[in-house]
């Protein structure tokens, strides 16, 4: 994919290069020849590198199904592993219980629904990020952290631009949901030769959270047969896609259980493919989210966080690029849990 560069980064701001976080020396040492390709996409603001396509807080599109009043799309900040805790801060978005996707689960019994609604109360606060983060590790690996998976499509495009994808990478999608619905309206007006700012525009205003994989395939970042869906429902070994619904979805792909992931990653390596890891924290909602449906939890409750994290961390170690989505409406848990999981992945990468 050809992605023309945008305006050059201004390195002559009042703060001076010595005060930048991370420093230019850190970025160039971590990325080598790829550093300038990254820097050209960022500008300096208050001593930090901010992505030019995600530079200001903007109201999330109310035209999209999975957005709430008060939700914003924040800036994307380049940072280091040591600064993640400092920058991983949240603002509340208050929604009614009726708005929650959890209350729309048709597999729930009426009693399940009653208990969830009673527990949720008339309204609850969801945790949304003050900043999206692009964490650059000293080894050159990058971890992208966002609210929902929508913006992972932009992160994939940036990673492709930086050479982290290689040719036909193997994606390991750790998620409660497949997120592979096809947006036919959006697809019909997009070419495969896209600029980063065009992808950013689509992610901000036209792409739903459950459509990012089909979108990534449509613009040539991935091949659908190279997607490995590691789903909550399959953690204990149940194989196959989720039950079909009325929306068109990507066909194909693989559905490894948690225990089969290490072998699948190794097979990708032997085939000369780079591994991309995409984690949605709702994968672990069955362990931590009080609103997770009891009927679904029963099937996988024996799989512990330690078992899941061991596979996630090993995959992160092998991956050339990683995205993490918080899924606030699906992963309604204490902030300490979010920090623990993200910290483990960033450290392992």
Instruction: Note the pLDDT tens digit of each residue in 82-96.
Output: 999 999 999 999 988
Do β-strands 42-45 and 48-51 pair in parallel, antiparallel, or remain unpaired? antiparallel
Tokens of 220: 């040539």
pLDDT of residue 189: 57
330 in a domain, yes or no? yes
Please state, rounded to an integer, the average pLDDT across all residues of the chain: 88
Q: For residue 277, is it within any domain? A: yes
Q: For residue 229, give the nearest of 285, 174, 148 by alpha carbon.
A: 174
Distance CA 50, CA 200 (A): 14
DSSP string, 276-333: EEEEEGGGGHHHH-TTS-HHHHHHHTTS-HHHHHHHHHHHHHH-SEEEEE--TTT---
Whether pLDDT at 110 is above 70? no
CA 14 → CA 20, 44, 46, 79, 277, distances in Å?
11, 10, 9, 20, 38
Q: Which of 20, 144, 131, 151 is nearest to 86 (CA)?
A: 131
- Cβ-contact 56, 75 below 8 angstroms: yes
| Among 80, 198, 66, CA closest to 128 | 66
Poorest-pLDDT segment among 50-59, 168-177, 296-305: 296-305
How many CB atoms are located within 10 Å of the residue 310 CB? 15
Task: Classify residue 51: in a domain, yes or no.
Answer: no
Secondary element (H or E) of residue 173: strand 170-175
The verdict on residue 2 lying in a domain is no
pLDDT at 64 over 60: yes
Domain count, the chain: 1
- Percentage of residues in the chain having pLDDT higher than 70: 86
Q: Quick one: average pLDDT of 158-171?
A: 93
Q: With 50 as the cut, is the pLDDT of residue 32 above it?
A: yes
Tokens 């924040």 locate to: 74
Confidence of residue 292 (pLDDT cuts 50, 70, 90): confident
Residue 11 near residue 41 (C-beta atoms within 8 A): no
Task: Find the mean pLDDT for residues 179-208.
Answer: 80
Q: What pLDDT band is residue 121 in, cutting at 50, 70 and 90? A: low
d(CA 5, CA 7) in angstroms, rounded, equals 7
- pLDDT tier, 190 (very low <50, low <70, confident <90, very high otherwise): low
pTM (2 decimals)?
Answer: 0.90
Average confidence (pLDDT) over 218-235: 94
Answer yes or no: is 39 within a domain.
no
Which range of 67-81, 108-122, 245-259 scores highest in mean pLDDT? It is 67-81
Find all residues with CB under 8 Å of 104, minimum gap 6, and list them: none
CA 47 vs CA 39, 87, 112, 133, 206: distances in Å: 14, 14, 50, 15, 32
Q: Is residue 8 in a domain?
A: no
pLDDT for the residue numbered 115: 65
Helix (H, G, I), strand (E, B) or coil at 78: strand
- The answer to whether residue 82 sits within a structural domain is yes
CATH code of the domain containing 286: 3.40.800
Q: State which residues form the domain around 220.
A: 58-348
The C-alpha atoms of residue 300 and residue 277 are separated, in whole angstroms, by 22
Answer whether residue 235 is part of any domain: yes
pLDDT at 184 over 90: no
């Amino acid at each position: 994919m050809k992605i023309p560069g945008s305006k050059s980064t201004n390195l002559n701001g009042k703060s001076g290069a010595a005060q930048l976080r991370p420093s230019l020396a850190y970025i160039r040492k971590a990325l080598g020849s790829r550093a300038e390709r990254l820097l050209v996409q960022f500008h300096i603001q208050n001593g930090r590198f901010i992505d030019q396509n995600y530079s200001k807080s903007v109201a999330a599109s109310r035209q999209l199904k999975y957005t709430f009043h008060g939700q914003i799309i924040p800036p994307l900040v380049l940072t280091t592993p040591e600064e993640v805790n400092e920058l991983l801060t949240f603002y509340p978005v208050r929604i009614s219980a009726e708005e929650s996707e959890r209350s729309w689960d048709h597999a729930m019994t009426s009693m399940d629904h009653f208990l969830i609604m009673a527990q949720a109360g008339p309204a609850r606060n969801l945790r949304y990020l003050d900043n999206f983060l692009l964490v650059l590790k000293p080894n050159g690996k990058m971890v992208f952290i966002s609210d929902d998976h929508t913006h992972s499509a932009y992160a994939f495009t940036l990673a492709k631009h930086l050479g982290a994808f290689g040719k036909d990478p193997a994606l390991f999608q750790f998620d409660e949901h497949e997120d592979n619905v096809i947006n036919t309206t959006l697809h019909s007006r997009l070419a495969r030769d896209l600029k980063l700012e065009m992808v950013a525009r689509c992610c901000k205003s036209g792409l739903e959270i459950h459509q990012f994989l089909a979108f990534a395939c449509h613009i040539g970042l991935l091949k659908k047969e190279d997607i490995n869906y590691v789903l909550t429902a399959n953690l204990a070994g149940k194989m196959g896609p989720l039950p079909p619904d009325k929306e068109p979805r990507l066909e194909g792909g693989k559905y490894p259980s948690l225990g089969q992931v290490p072998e699948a990653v190794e097979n990708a390596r032997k085939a000369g493919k780079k591994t991309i890891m995409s984690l949605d924290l709702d994968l672990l909602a069955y362990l931590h989210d009080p609103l997770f449906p009891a009927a679904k939890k029963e099937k996988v409750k024996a799989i512990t966080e330690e078992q899941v994290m061991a596979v996630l961390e090993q995959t992160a170690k092998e991956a050339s690029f990683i995205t993490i989505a918080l899924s606030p409406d699906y992963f309604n848990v204490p902030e300490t849990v979010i920090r623990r999981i993200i910290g483990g992945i960033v450290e392992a990468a």
